[in-house]
Every structure is written in structure tokens, then in C-alpha cells.
Amino acid sequence: MAESYIFPTIWWDGKLTPLENATMNVTQIGTASVSSVFEGIRAYLNPNTNELNVFQLDAHLKRFLQSLRLVRLEHDFSLQDLHDAVVALVRENNPERDVYIRPFGYAESRTFGAATDPHAHVVIHVTDWDSKLKTDSVSHSCVSSWTRLTDNQMSPRVKASANYLNSRYANEEAKRNGYDHAILLTPQGKVAEGPGMCLMIVRNGKLITPSITSGILESVTRESVMQLAREALELPVIEREVDRTELYTADEAFFCGTGIEITPIVSIDRMKLGNGDPGEITQRVLNCYHDVVRGIEPRYEEWRTVISNE
């Protein structure tokens, strides 16, 4: 994976700051990471207007505030403050391309896991991350031997950095065994999600996705896709527990998430899904999602924060 370009201005505790001046004490790296939480947000360039469309900004920021609250970090930022911060930051960097926006909240601490200073610092930075929508990107996936975290242990509902150690184990194993991505099961053997994305399967024309109590992050993309599928594509959508063997018997499957966008899964544990190509319903969802996030489709305007290049 090519190294990402970090745009030169970041937002740090209320101020636009040059990246090169944004330094912190290196001894804090480990301890501050334990309780840190973050978000990942994409902004897509609309090819017709040349404006950036930040996708579902407020939904991501609401989840960020909820994550901070659940790890009990305190701060003075409202949803509107963070919304304005992202808009100002993107404007300042003036990227003329698709970008990825990463809010990060952390507290400095002397010891691992101690709640010595609950005061959160918030930093937001912008990087490039090219979209793979409509690029023929597909996934050969596997069911991980690692189990997804559980709610009363390290809740997958919290977008906490520490949760991503579970993801790292699964990712590393999948890559080592020659797969693109892992699918994690709950301790009860039900399908949860991928290490950084949710998952949907198609069976008999119905879209089925693990419920929000199946050990998943409450994904903004999953929620958006469900609404698009129901309203724009008139597809039945079901949220429920999903068995492992349903993965193998699915007609189609795809991952969904901010980073992975909509990525068709064409095989699981080397069993082909359908004829091994992205399924028809998956492609309809992908095309619809593409047009909505870029603002080519005028509907769902409320999901897009439009930032003009000035």
C-alpha cells in the first residue's frame, strides 16, 4: 500500500496548526493510545461541480462523541464545533481530490490504562485515499480463527484504537494465508464483521446483515446502504444473526464501510460465491452508493456536507 500523503494543516484542540509544529511527547505514544478513539470520514469530489462532498459528516462526529463518552474522556467540543473544524480544515488544505478525514481523541496518561487525566485532546488530519468504487476491486475473504470482541469486554460499538488489535490479528492472519480480508465471528459462532468494515450477504434477492448486537461497529455506511437498498433500490433488507454457513451458501456478499466502501466478496474460504464475479445486486448497491457519495445523485443531500474549492 502506497504511503498516504498527509495534508499540511491539521486541527488540534481548536486551532488550525501546521503539521510540522504538531508534536507531542514520544513517551506518551503507548499510554495515550490505550484510551484513544477515532473516526474515519471520506470526502468525495463531485466531477460535475468540482466540490468536495463530505459523506455523513455529522453521523461520524456523533459516533466520535459517543466513543469519547463511552471511554469517559472529557472535552469541551460540541457536534457543531467539530463539524466547523472539519469544514475549516478541509477548506484550509484545499485538496482538489478525494480525501480521508481522521478525527482522533486521546488523553495523556502516565500509566497504561489509568484514568489519571480524563481530559481529551482532539486532533483532526486529512490524507489522500483514492476511492476504489467502480474499479473492479473485489475481495477473496476467509473466516478468521480469531473471534470478534464482545460488548462487555471491549465493545465493538466504541471506535477505540485498542479494539484494532483484534483487527490486526485477523488481518495479519488473512494476509499470511493469501486472502484479502478476514470475516470475524462472535464467540457464539455467528457472523460479526470484518476487521474494519461491516458485511452484507444476498440470499434469494434479500439483503441480510448481522444485527447491531452481533459484535459490530454501528457502521454509518451499513446504515446508509440499508436505507438506499430499501428506498432507492426497493430491496428487502433484514438485520439478524447470520450463521457461518450462510456465508458459503450466499448468492452474493459484500463489505461496506467508509474505507472499504462497497467491495464485492467473490469467494470465502476459497468457495466461490455465485459464479465468482460480483453479483448483480451488489453492483446495483455499489453504483447507487457511488452516485450518492459523489453527489451525482441529487437525492440524499442531507448526507453530504458540500465544501467548495475557493
User: To the nearest whole angstrom, how small is the minimum distance from the Cβ of residue 42 to ligand PMP?
Assistant: 8
Provide, rounded to whole angstroms, the least separation between the CB of residue 82 and ligand PMP: 16
* Nearest approach, Cβ of residue 302 and ligand PMP (Å): 17
In a 10 Å sphere around its CB, with 0-12 CB exposed, 13-18 middle and 19+ buried, how is residue 103 labelled? buried
Binding residues (CB under 6 A) for ligand PMP: these are 40, 193, 196-198, 217, 219-222, 257-259
**Cβ nearer to ligand PMP, comparing 115 with 165:** 165
Nearest distance from residue 197's CB to ligand PMP, in Å? 5
Between 125 and 222, name the residue whose CB sits nearer to ligand PMP.
222
Q: CB-wise, 59 or 109, nearer to ligand PMP?
A: 59
Of the pair 64, 109, the CB lying nearest ligand PMP is at: 64
Residue closer to ligand PMP (CB basis): 75 or 222: 222
Q: Closest CB to ligand PMP among 9 and 106?
A: 106
Least distance from ligand PMP to the Cβ atom of residue 255, Å = 9
Q: How far is the CB of 161 from ligand PMP (least distance, A)?
A: 11
